[in-house]
Amino acid sequence: MIDNICKFLAENFSADFASWLLGEAIALTKIEPSELSVEPIRADSVIFLESTEIILHLEFQTEPNKNIPFRMADYRLRLHRKFPDRQVHQVVIYLSPSQSNLVYETTFNLGELSHRFNVIRLWEQPTEIFQQYQGLLPFATLSKTCDRVETLRQVAKQIENIADKQLQSSVAASTAIISGIALDREIIQRLLRSDIMKESVIYQDILSEGMAEGKAEGLAEGEARGKAKGEATATNQIALNMLRSNVTSDLVAQFTGLTLKQVQKLQKLSAKESKAPKSPKTKRSPKS
């Protein structure tokens, strides 16, 4: 979910990201990862934006990742193959504070091959940067702030002043989910208005995805009872997706129409499943 939110923000507020990362509000358009594929690319975790002169390659990471240096070098060569005349600016953005040396790595070395890329650790970035641009507001609570609660309170006021209601709801929903990395659900619920978020594109995407999954299951049974079961499954799936993204129980109940008791039951089920050990795969005996 965090990957999807970051991708949504980068693609829909590209000029804000360009102002932050490139120092200029350049209009950027999306490059489909499939255009660069020699072998499959993890399209869920990589964002490519382009102008006529520059390509901005973004990767958002919640945890340290030892494979990042190789991936950045790999993508850089793919980009050069496809767009040899473009400047390429690569940035890895780490969201959660970490003491790991991995979040400080900015080079990939292999023999005589050496490649450098940029790394941003959000917890070291001034909060003021993210309060200047609507598309960056959701990241403000993860920045270098002495009081994350007060920062979210200020962001909430800025969101309420956004005139475009669709834009307002999308920024609010993004802020609620991303802020869950650093703040408790109850605080987020108290400071962000749930009624603003209900019309967000992000929520509608979650809704559409969950309904599609549930209806597919219901239609497979072919009867009205099966369809009803499918719709119920869809609603539960939406609720689970939101809970796993740190959306508060009360908000989940408002968004899905489930009772708070039903949401809390799903929350306990999800927690139980996440703690359950995975069963080892059985090895097939060799054929005689």
Other Cβ atoms closer than 10 A to 276: 8
The rounded distance, in Å, linking the Cα atoms of 259 and 101 is: 45
pLDDT of residue 56: 96
- Whether the per-residue pLDDT at 73 is higher than 90: the answer is yes
The pLDDT, as a whole number, for residue 18 is 95
Structure tokens, 155: 């962001």
At 24, give phi and psi (nearest 5°).
-150, 135
Distances (CA, A) of 38 to 45, 50, 74, 156, 178: 17, 20, 11, 44, 33
Structure pTM? 0.72
Supply the pLDDT for residue 231: 45
Q: Give residue 72's pLDDT.
A: 95
Give me the pLDDT at residue 224, please.
45
Give backbone dihedrals phi and psi of 280, rounded to 5 degrees, phi first: -65, 145
Tell me the pLDDT tens digit for each residue of 132-179: 999 999 999 999 999 999 999 999 999 999 999 888 988 998 999 899
CB 81 within 8 A of CB 117: no
Q: Which of 78-87, 161-170, 215-224, 242-251 has the lowest mean pLDDT?
A: 215-224
Residue of higher predicted confidence among 238 and 140: 140
